[in-house]
Amino acid sequence: MSNQSLSFIHDSLPQKIRFGFGEASANLLEEVRTRNAQSVMVIAGEPEMPIAKQVASEIEVAVWHSDVVMHVPIETAQAAREVAVDNQVDLLVCVGGGSTTGLAKAVALETGIPIVAVPTTYAGSEATNVWGLTEEKRKTTGVDIKVLPETVIYDSKLTLSLPVEMSVASGLNGMAHCVDSLWAPKADPINAALAGEGIRALSAGLPKIVEDSQSIEGRDEALYGAYLSAVSFASAGSGLHHKICHVLGGTFNLPHAQTHATILPYVLAFNAPYAPGAEQRMAAAFGTQTGLEGLQQLREKVNAPARLSDYGFSADGIPEAVSIVLEKVPANNPREVTEENFTQLLTAALNGDDPAILSN
Ligand code: NAD
């Protein structure tokens, strides 16, 4: 019998969650009333604006802002901050995916204005206190409680229009939060429990969405899983997977969700043999022998993104990516990351090779 004791420090983030199919506008009205907000700024990218108009149909909106760009370029952030200050905004409402939430966070970071987030993808940014900004091709991230949305309104009706391909990529982005949080710097039993349930919910929900994009059950499960994934990630911090994806997104401008979806099996195959606790948790959540087997079965069912070359990455980018990532590898990563084995990982992900080759 093992006689090891448990010892860890876990931070829980203060946030209200309102979850309900078709309930977003009523929930937003309730938030605006309780806060007595006088000047609301709604942030939504142009494509999400119709959803935002519907969500905000019951409240008075002082300013609509639609200049949203993925990975939050600093100029876009500055422009949005000026709009907020000029309009004496006292509540930010963001309706959209991680790019939209990211812009609201950039405004909150400088102004301290509270956010109510209404997510329409599975990126999970709404449940973290992590902000990201991109300046001169480098993405910087940081942690600040000011950027944590005070309330999140989840309504899976708003996700019915998310195209199946994007739903799959985004859902696997959520899955990556779960998996990476099992070996991230502040991995602990609480976020491992959340991650396990997140893996289960996402792997149950995504195939239902692929079968029928209007499946309410599938959409609800995926959104619930995405929330759990983000809570576990916020608590555990960025592991190897996130360090890699931030470099690929920031320096090579690769699309966020698709990059996460593509890289995940390679990082899982690379780390899992060196992380038995994580391996056990993933296998149990997928209901398979190993985490890799579960993830690959799911990826096949949902026709997941398979190679980085499909998203604009090429072999001549590998040396630069390797050198930047090697500086950022978390000290507690279960497996030593070297120039040689990491080049092998990126090359395999570039070409869509079998991830199992990394498990030795
Ligand atoms: P995104 O917000 O750019 O959305 C992806 C695409 O889906 C866009 O074309 C968008 O218009 C469209 N879309 C969104 N919702 C839709 C809907 N309901 N119906 C139809 N189309 C819809 O991408 P994302 O993957 O959600 O977010 C990526 C960004 O979020 C990246 O910048 C990433 O760094 C950031 N992020 C941050 C954190 C964090 O904790 N700070 C966590 C995850 C992601």
Mean pLDDT of 107-130: 97
Helix (H) or strand (E) holding 17: strand 16-19
The answer as to whether 1 is a domain residue is: no
pLDDT over 90 for what percent of the chain?
Answer: 92
Relative to beta strand 115-119, strand 91-96 is: parallel
For 288-327, the DSSP string reads SSSHHHHHHHHHHHHT----GGGGT--GGGHHHHHHHHHH
> 191 and 330: one domain?
yes
- Structure confidence at residue 171 (pLDDT): 98
- Structure confidence at residue 1 (pLDDT): 54
CA angle 311, 314, 319 (to 5 degrees): 130
- Structure confidence at residue 343 (pLDDT): 97
> 37 and 137: one domain?
yes
Among candidate residues 128, 159, 190, the one where a domain is terminated: 159
> 144 and 183: one domain?
no
CA distances from 100 to 149, 185, 317 (A): 12, 27, 28
Asked whether residue 41 carries a pLDDT value surpassing 60, the answer given is yes
- Structure confidence at residue 174 (pLDDT): 97
Q: How confident is the model at residue 288 (pLDDT cuts 50, 70, 90)?
A: very high
Q: Which residues contact 227 (CB under 8 A, 6 or more apart)?
A: 17, 19, 124, 127, 152, 154
Is 255 a pocket residue for ligand 1 (Cβ < 6 Å)?
no
Residues 203-239 pLDDT 10s: 999 999 999 999 999 999 999 999 999 999 999 999 9
The answer as to whether 2 is a domain residue is: no
How far is the centre of ligand 1, averaged over its atoms, from the C-alpha of 341 (Å)?
Answer: 31
Q: Residue 136, Cβ neighbours under 10 Å: how many?
A: 7
Domain that holds residue 109: 16-159
Asked whether residue 306 carries a pLDDT value surpassing 90, the answer given is yes
Q: Which of 2-16, 135-149, 345-359 has the highest mean pLDDT?
A: 345-359
> 217 and 329: one domain?
yes
Is 124 a pocket residue for ligand 1 (Cβ < 6 Å)?
yes
**Rg from Cα positions in the chain:** 20
> 195 and 91: one domain?
no
> 84 and 190: one domain?
no
Is 125 a pocket residue for ligand 1 (Cβ < 6 Å)?
yes
Q: What is the CATH number of the domain that holds 140?
A: 3.40.50.1970
Is 166 a pocket residue for ligand 1 (Cβ < 6 Å)?
yes
Helix (H) or strand (E) holding 133: strand 130-135
